[in-house]
Structure 1
Amino acid sequence: MSTLQGRSGEEKAASYLSRRGFNIIARNIRIGRGELDIIACSDELLLFVEVKTHKTRESGLLAVNEDKCARLYSAAEAWLAKHPAYAGLQCRFDLIIVTPRMGLPSWIPPRIEHMKDIIN
């Protein structure tokens, strides 16, 4: 997928989270060993969300391997060190896979799959 499609997927993921009551704190933060696509919070929960926009669900899942998870964790630790006000919140790493509906009319929205707690 192109960078433009990736950004579009991230926008759709942020809207999806906002509709579910999450406040988007930051997006596309490069820090530590990685990048955090979306940081969001709701009450006592802080989410670090990886967004994958892929043609298939399977290719989105394959893109989040052990090394990617380690870089996400490192980036989240670095971000929390710079933002101690959030340190008391429960943290969770989620994955949102955005799959465009290929061959269908453009008014049909992409499929959004939200996988919770991908890093234990």
Structure 2
Amino acid sequence: MDHYNTRKKGTEYEEMAASYLKDAGYQILARNYRVASGEIDLIVSKDGYLIFVEVKYRSNSRYGSPEAAVTPVKQRQISRVALYYMKRYGYDPYNTPVRFDVVAVAENEIHHMKDAFPYQGYY
């Protein structure tokens, strides 16, 4: 599959995840938030939490679950981008309730893992 089709497929699953979260009462703040050090698929808020969401998709389990693709390296990258976002938009990193979620899409089923991993880094 070429890069264009892979990106198109990824966008479809991110849309599916965003729709799922919106229907569950989350407010979508940003999609595909990019900085030089990485990207966060969705940034949402609900119940006073600022939530950074990684969306993962697998068409089958041959390469493991979608959740398993959120490696410690990816967690650190997401954490760095999250801290940048917070500083950029005026959130206090010490006093803002933050969560890192994973929305896994596998065979058109959505599994939302709240608080999937802790912040990986330093302020």
TM-score by length of 1: 0.84
Q: What is the count of residue pairs matched by the alignment?
A: 111
* 8 Å Cα contact 1:32-1:74 kept in structure 2: no
Cα displacement (A) at 1:85: 4.5
1:81 is matched with which residue? 87
Matches within 5 A, 1:1-120: 2-31=6-35, 33-56=37-60, 58-85=64-91, 88-100=95-107, 110-120=108-118
1:107 is matched with which residue? none
Q: Report the identity percentage.
A: 36
**Counterpart Cα distance in 2 of 1:74 and 1:80:** 10
Cα displacement (A) at 1:86: 6.8
Q: Which runs of 5+ in 1 are unaligned?
A: 101-109
**Counterpart Cα distance in 1 of 2:116 and 2:47:** 20
1:105 is matched with which residue? none
Cα displacement (A) at 1:4: 1.4
2:121 is matched with which residue? none
Change in Cα spacing, 1:8 to 1:43, as seen in structure 2 (3 Å) is same
TM-score by length of 2: 0.82
Residue-by-residue CA offset, 1:41-90 (whole Å, 9 max, x unaligned): 11311110000111136341231111000000000000001011475531
**Counterpart Cα distance in 1 of 2:51 and 2:98:** 6
Cα displacement (A) at 1:34: 1.4
Cα displacement (A) at 1:32: 5.1
Q: CA RMSD in A?
A: 1.8
1:40 maps to a residue whose letter is V
